[in-house]
Amino acid sequence: MELSDFTAVGAQYWVRVVEPDGSIPSAEEYTISIRAYTFNMTLIAVGLLFYAIFIFLGIFEYVASINRTLKQGV
């Protein structure tokens, strides 16, 4: 799972096999790798900030163009 917006966090847990009667059949330990993904909220915040800035600039330019049109008397 390769996603640029996700950060992989590695974790290892040691598990020992135990029989129902409580005896341990072997001393062999098995490694289980679990990947937990955390969403990068900083990336989202920066993206929304740029989005808001461009919307503001677009509205400002639109109002300025209307103002220029009215000054020209068209």
pLDDT in tens, 28-48: 555 555 565 556 778 888 899
Examine residue 32 and state whether it is found in any structural domain, yes or no. yes
Instruction: Report the pLDDT value the prediction gives residue 44, as an integer from 0 to 100.
Output: 84
1 belongs to a structural domain: no
Answer whether residue 29 is part of any domain: yes
Q: Compute the Cα dihedral for 16, 19, 21, 24 and give only its sign.
A: negative
pTM for this structure? 0.39
Residue 16 belongs to a domain: yes
pLDDT band of 60, cuts 50, 70, 90: very high
All residues at 6 or more sequence positions from 6 whose CB lies less than 8 Å from its CB, including other chains: 37, 38, 39, 40
Structure tokens at 59: 């509205």
Q: How many domains does the chain have?
A: 1
Alpha carbon distance 44, 52 (integer Å): 12
- Note whether residue 55 is domain-resident: yes
Full domain range(s) for residue 32: 6-72
Q: Does 20 reside within a domain?
A: yes
Q: Band of the pLDDT at 53, cuts 50, 70, 90? A: very high
61 inside domain: yes
